[in-house]
Amino acid sequence: MFDPTTLVGFHTWLSLIAIATGIMVIIDLIRGPARPTWTAVFLLTALATSATGFVLPFERVLPSHIVGGIALVVLAVALLAQYRFRLAGAWRWIYAVAAIASLYLLVFVGVAQVFSKIPTLHALAPTQSEAPFAVAQLAVLALFVALAVAAVRATRRTIAPQAYA
């Protein structure tokens, strides 16, 4: 699963890098100032994670494919806000919401993977429709909603950063 020489391993490592850098981007959104390198690595690895999810072998459309499609749309908005509109005006808070939503979707899938791969958690929620899975996903959602509110508030009190080259 974590062997970067396989497609699944590469996809997994991209996901972990996107989550780690995404955390740094969210901290920057709330505390400022933004660091362009962290932002670029996050957006690139999040995009690559969603894209590589579609080339993994599958027989039918799964919920992960739907989440991946939504993630690609959200990332397109974040990329436009960041690099085309340079976070001008409303694009600043739109970027904050899109970046946090993108990270949330990565973590959402990560939680689902943890429940399917770790035997103890799998025993608690074998079909991922049981209460422990729902509680975990609800807690993650609540955390990301709180982060989004904090980030949007922060965009209103900070001056827009220098445009990224």
pLDDT digits (tens, 9 = 90+) for 27-45: 999 998 899 999 999 999 9
Q: Residue 165: pLDDT band by 50, 70, 90 thresholds?
A: very low
Determine the pLDDT at residue 56. Answer: 86
Give the number of C-alpha atoms closer than 13 A to the C-alpha of residue 51, restricted to the C-beta side.
10
Give the integer Cα–Cα distance in Å for 119 and 17: 24
Distance of alpha carbon 47 from alpha carbon 89, whole angstroms: 25
Question: Can you tell me the mean pLDDT for 47-65?
Answer: 90
* Cβ count within 10 A of residue 100: 26
Percent of the chain at pLDDT > 70 equals 93
Tell me the chain's radius of gyration from C-alpha atoms.
16
Pick the more confident residue, 63 or 23.
23
Residue entry with tokens 């989550």: 19
From residue 26, alpha-carbon distances to 43, 54, 142 in Å are 12, 26, 15
Angstrom distance (rounded) from CA 67 to CA 114: 16
d(CA 72, CA 49): 10
**Dist CA 159 CA 165 (whole Å):** 18
- Residue-wise pLDDT tens digits, 109-132: 999 999 999 999 999 999 999 999
Tokens 């990329």 correspond to 79
pLDDT of residue 5: 79
pLDDT in tens, 69-113: 999 999 999 999 999 999 999 999 999 999 999 999 999 999 999
Q: How far does CA 43 lie from the centroid of its chain?
A: 9
Domain ranges of the chain: 7-157
Structure confidence at residue 58 as a pLDDT band (50, 70, 90): confident
d(CA 163, CA 5): 36
Residue 85, φ and ψ in degrees, nearest 5: -95, 0
pLDDT-based confidence at residue 150 (cuts at 50, 70, 90)? very high
63 vs 100, higher pLDDT: 100
Q: What is the pTM of this model?
A: 0.91
The encoded tokens of residue 54 equal 């579609």
**Alpha carbons 124 and 112: distance in angstroms, whole number:** 12
